[in-house]
Structure 1
Amino acid sequence: MASSVARAVSAPAPFDGLSQRIVPLGYLVVETLAFLDGLEARSAANLSDVETLRAVGNHISHAIAEVGAGMAQLSAAASEAENAAAERLEAIAVSSERLRRLGEWGTGISARTDALDHVLAEIVAANGQIGRITRQVNILAVNASIEAARAGEAGRGFAIVADAIKELSRQTAQAASGVEESIASLDDWTRMMRDDAARYAGEFAAGIAGADATRQVVGLIAKEMTRARTGIAQVEGSMRRLDHDNQTAQPVYDAIDSNAHAVARELGAARDRAGQMMDTCETLLQRTVESEQEGPDHRFIAYVSGMAARVKDAMERGLNRGLIDRQALFAFDYAPIPGSNPVQHETPFARFIDFAVQDMLEEALEYDPAVVFCAICDRNGYIPTHNRKFSHAPGPDPAWNAAHCRNRRIFSDRAGRKAGANRAPFLLQVYRRDMGAEGFVMMKDISVPLIVAGTHWGGLRMGYREMSAR
């Protein structure tokens, strides 16, 4: 491989120095491609926002329809409640009037029983007078009977009258006694009625007060239901206007959606064209460097090629000594490392690569001040082993991790994919390196393929700044 690289960089060069004039163009194309990447990312975000906006619009339409239906039902229920309250209010008024009249009647019982007591007292007094008169008449009848007996035959007729008077007196006394008993019973009933009236007077008053309070509450409910129905009608009007405005906005949503998709397609096409331009520019740069006899990049190419041969030998020695088997070395199985951000991955061969090539990668940093990194990547862009300054344990800050924890990561960017897949003697790329919190750095990247035990495994990468062109 080293001889093929030597032939590539030592061939006649009718365009010596042209590569350094192409490099600024490459940087410009890289910047343009990065700019388009940013626009495409923002466009994708805008598309997502548009989809969210459309979904929200649909949800609003459904919500408006549901609220409208609900408000219609609520309005009907409020109207029914208002009518029912009015009917109940009328019924309560009738019941309240009945209770009031009943209460008045119960309250008046006391006065009427007092009058009845007075009449009964008079009747008792009269009945007592009758009793006394009856007793006197009875005495007179007895006396008359005695005198008639003394008169003999002449007093017989008088004796008959006296007996009749005595019998009448007895019957009168008996009737007076019955009247007295009836008056006593009537007096008991009157007293019980008066006591009951006194006992239930409070109940009558409470019933009337409760009916009045209920009438007031139902009246307030009726008023509130009327107010509620008015408010519901206002809300229904607002919902109709909102529905009209939402329907008016639908064509605007459609236009925004159509324009956003059109912009996304155009940006995608522009990015594809910029990518093609980048490919053309890098191919031109690659061919120019290959055709030049000398140039600032040649010594880096030669260095990386020599180190790639050493890395290849170290990996094959590990195979031969049983430090790793072929199946593990070519097992491109990536297991995410929990808690890493950006995500790092473990593989069956990563620890072996650390052991076999870590020190060689550190040597590369001493080769030239322009060298930024030297790392090994598999054919899928995965970097198991990096320089120690880029292989720190991850912390809580993703931006810091992006710059300082670059081992065990899959770099699926354009430069990373091409570096891992390259099978040419060398590949020279210009690209923007994402350094996390430090931002993006423009640099050149040389990658040389690693053919281990006859199979393409990946490549060795070196990145260096343009200052090396001194």
Structure 2
Amino acid sequence: MAEQTLARTLSVFFVVFICSMLLASLPWQLNMLVTSFLLALLSTLLMFLVGRWLDIRVEQRVSRETQTAESSHINQATKQISLHTSKIAIGAAEVSHFIDTLNLSIEKNGESASQISVAAEELSVTTGQLSDNAAHILLQAQDAERFSVEGRAQAEVGVDTIESLSVDINTAAQQVHALKEKAQSIQNITELINSVAEQTNLLALNAAIEAARAGDQGRGFAVVADEVRNLAGKTAQATGDIAKMLLEVSSEADRTSGLMEQVVCKTSGTVEVMAKLDVSFNQISLSIAQSAESLSQMEEALKESTSTTHEISGSVAQIHDSLESTAEQSSRVSEQAFGLSKTTEGIFTELADFDTQTLDQRVLKQAREGAKQCGALLEAGLVSGKFREHDLFSPQYRPISNTDPVKYSTEFDSYTDSCFPAVQEPILGSHREIVYAGCVDMKGYFPTHNLCFSKKLTGKAEIDILSNRTKRLFDDPTGIRCGQHTQAVLLQTYKRDTGEVMHDLSVPIFVKGKHWGGFRVGFKAT
């Protein structure tokens, strides 16, 4: 009856395991929740299986006859537990590796989200400042447009004024020209008067001569002739003065006329300049208006950009919070996966006392023998003085130059290079599923790896990481536990940095009764 219950439980257990293997096809958010549930269920079923198996052991001890009759069934059940536990351990390793990878991805994405959020916030501040600057420039452009319009209006007034002045000057020039012509007419009249005065003077002179000839009878006439001659002289003098004044007026009129013509020419040029200035003001006004419109559109675009950037920043912050929440969930799932791995380790430890005829049982026997022989070799090295006890239990790890990942030498690794292969290589070659077999100290240091992992360095990382793994510190959680545990056996399941899922079985190595490290045997998980 107990065996039937155990078999049914194994069936349920296996179904749950298959379900857990299908999780890879689910979205990672749902995957996380379902994984957590299934891991908890698997742990419960494992504990139940172990409990039922222990019950069978108790029932077995109660009746020797029953034990003999059912021993084959119990051995078969034990073997099935071992096989299914191995599969669960593989699944737990896959899940654990997936969660670790997911955590790294979440951490990187979280950092990226934080950087994006900061950048978005900085961009929001910058676009806000640009928007303010655009608004300020828009005001300045509007002021410039107003000043341009005012300048254009003033230029138009100036053009009108200058054109009016030009008309006035032209009128004045015409009047000066008319004055010159009148002065010339007066000049002609004065010349005529002067000619008459000269003739009058000649007549008076002739009259005086005739009066002198007449004697006393012509004396009165001589007086009149004298007065006429004096009047003619004064008239000639007056016309001379008038002619002189008219000459000066004519000269001033000519000069004024010339100046007027120059002013007219200059005002004409000024009118042309003012007209061009008016056109320039008009073009400036249009350009400023277009710039103001562009600035207005830019300001609106910057405001929208600022709003959008705020939304992006908020969305990224939500993503960051979601990633943090997911990281917490994945950490819990990782803890559950680790707990499941611990449970499978406990089951393997319990099964170690039974001959299940599985590979892990054969590997366990070889590992125990390897640990015993390597412990004896280290003791022999101490006794022979190859190295000191302090060098063995508290070694100085000296980095080997030009190695990546870094390799280390110690006081004892040259000794182990000479003797460990004789123990390790036969175990490695005993079964095709075994991948590596060797000794590590409590720090995870592998002083002498298998020969297939100790090939000459090529300098190419992708080749050397597979072909030369000796003298490295494997201080990952799996490697550390191999060297530090002191229990009878530890069977771990993990994913290597090469991508393979491995079982790692280790037993402690003691040197002169003191724990030194462990003997590791890695074999493919099937």
Q: TM-score, normalised by structure 1?
A: 0.75
Against the structure 1 CA distance between its residues 187 and 359, is the aligned structure 2 distance closer, same or farther, given a 3 Å change threshold? same
Which region of structure 1 is more displaced relative to structure 2, 114-123 or 177-186? 114-123
Equivalent residue for 1:208, pick from 248, 257, 275:
275
Q: Does 1:42 align with 2:42?
A: no
Q: Distance in 2 between matches of 1:181 and 1:94?
A: 42
Partner of 2:352: helix, strand, or coil? helix
Gaps of 5+ in 1: 1-12
- How much has 1:79 moved relative to structure 2? 4.0
Q: Does 1:331 align with 2:395?
A: yes
Equivalent residue for 2:449, pick from 376, 386, 406:
386
Q: Distance in 2 between matches of 1:44 and 1:291?
A: 40
Against the structure 1 CA distance between its residues 388 and 130, is the aligned structure 2 distance closer, same or farther, given a 3 Å change threshold? farther
Q: Does 1:190 align with 2:253?
A: no
For 1:136, give the aligned amino acid.
S
Matched length? 443
Q: Distance in 2 between matches of 1:189 and 1:396?
A: 104
Q: Distance in 1 between matches of 2:364 and 2:100?
A: 34
Q: CA RMSD in A?
A: 4.3
The corresponding residue for 2:496 is 434
Against the structure 1 CA distance between its residues 385 and 218, is the aligned structure 2 distance closer, same or farther, given a 3 Å change threshold? farther
Deviations 1:250-304 (A, max 9, x none): 7x965x6666555544443343333233223323322432454987555544444
Q: Does 1:157 align with 2:224?
A: yes
Equivalent residue for 1:271, pick from 331, 334, 339:
334
Partner of 2:432: helix, strand, or coil? coil
Equivalent residue for 1:28, pick from 81, 85, 88:
88
The corresponding residue for 2:28 is none
**Contact between 1:95 and 1:211, CA under 8 Å: does it hold in 2?**
yes
Against the structure 1 CA distance between its residues 314 and 130, is the aligned structure 2 distance closer, same or farther, given a 3 Å change threshold? farther
Deviations 1:287-330 (A, max 9, x none): 43245498755554444444445544555566667665555553
- How much has 1:171 moved relative to structure 2? 2.7
The corresponding residue for 1:101 is 161
**Contact between 2:110 and 2:324, CA under 8 Å: does it hold in 1?**
no
For 1:269, give the aligned amino acid.
R
The corresponding residue for 2:343 is 280
The corresponding residue for 2:131 is 71
The corresponding residue for 2:201 is 142
Q: Does 1:346 align with 2:388?
A: no
For 1:382, give the aligned amino acid.
Y
Deviations 1:94-137 (A, max 9, x none): 2233135315644885x557635743652463254145325413
The corresponding residue for 2:243 is 176
Gaps of 5+ in 2: 1-66, 213-218
Deviations 1:364-418 (A, max 9, x none): 43344333212332212233432233245365565x5543343344334443222
**Contact between 1:145 and 1:163, CA under 8 Å: does it hold in 2?**
no
Q: Distance in 2 between matches of 1:428 and 1:286?
A: 7
Q: Does 1:82 align with 2:142?
A: yes
Partner of 1:374: helix, strand, or coil? strand
**Contact between 1:376 and 1:461, CA under 8 Å: does it hold in 2?**
yes
- How much has 1:234 moved relative to structure 2? 6.8
Q: Does 1:410 align with 2:495?
A: no
The corresponding residue for 1:166 is 233
The corresponding residue for 2:299 is 232
For 2:92, give the aligned amino acid.
T
**Contact between 1:365 and 1:371, CA under 8 Å: does it hold in 2?**
yes
The corresponding residue for 1:9 is none
Against the structure 1 CA distance between its residues 161 and 268, is the aligned structure 2 distance closer, same or farther, given a 3 Å change threshold? same
**Contact between 1:134 and 1:173, CA under 8 Å: does it hold in 2?**
no
Partner of 1:423: helix, strand, or coil? coil
Partner of 2:438: helix, strand, or coil? strand
The corresponding residue for 1:3 is none
Equivalent residue for 2:178, pick from 107, 110, 119:
119
Q: Distance in 2 between matches of 1:328 and 1:70?
A: 68
Q: Distance in 1 between matches of 2:371 and 2:140?
A: 89
For 2:251, give the aligned amino acid.
A
For 2:480, give the aligned amino acid.
R
For 1:143, give the aligned amino acid.
L
Against the structure 1 CA distance between its residues 407 and 137, is the aligned structure 2 distance closer, same or farther, given a 3 Å change threshold? farther
Against the structure 1 CA distance between its residues 213 and 321, is the aligned structure 2 distance closer, same or farther, given a 3 Å change threshold? farther
- How much has 1:173 moved relative to structure 2? 1.0
The corresponding residue for 1:375 is 438
Against the structure 1 CA distance between its residues 166 and 262, is the aligned structure 2 distance closer, same or farther, given a 3 Å change threshold? closer
The corresponding residue for 2:151 is 91
Q: Distance in 2 between matches of 1:19 and 1:232?
A: 77
Q: Distance in 1 between matches of 2:267 and 2:454?
A: 97
The corresponding residue for 1:5 is none
Percent identity of the aligned residues?
17
The corresponding residue for 1:4 is none
Q: Distance in 1 between matches of 2:271 and 2:390?
A: 102
Q: Distance in 2 between matches of 1:390 and 1:209?
A: 91
**Contact between 1:394 and 1:405, CA under 8 Å: does it hold in 2?**
no
